[in-house]
Amino acid sequence: MPIIQGRILTGSAIHTDGWKAYDSLVLNGYDHYRVFHSNNEFARGKSHVNGVEAFWRCFPASAGLTAAWFCQTKTRKV
């Protein structure tokens, strides 16, 4: 949660998958919308995370970075 709180304004809408680590987003003041891939759910109304997942999957290659380097640095504060 500290990574999210340090980068995203309270009250922002956050769209995620069903990972349990995101359970406390609402309690911390975020509008939280999720889809549960484990239940074969990939969209709920206008809520989905496919674009974000595709971005993070493709970004390292498009930036000429190795996946290992990117995974080590993507959560580091700039």
| Mean pLDDT over the full length of the chain | 76
User: Cα 34 to the chain's mean position, in Å?
Assistant: 10
Total-model pTM: 0.59
Domain boundaries in the chain? Answer: 2-73
Over the stretch 4-51, which tens digit does the pLDDT of each residue have?
Answer: 888 899 999 988 888 898 999 999 999 998 888 788 877 777 776 766
C-alpha to C-alpha distance for 31 and 13, rounded to whole angstroms? 4
Give how far Cα 68 sits from Cα of 13, 23, 27, 78, Å: 29, 28, 33, 18
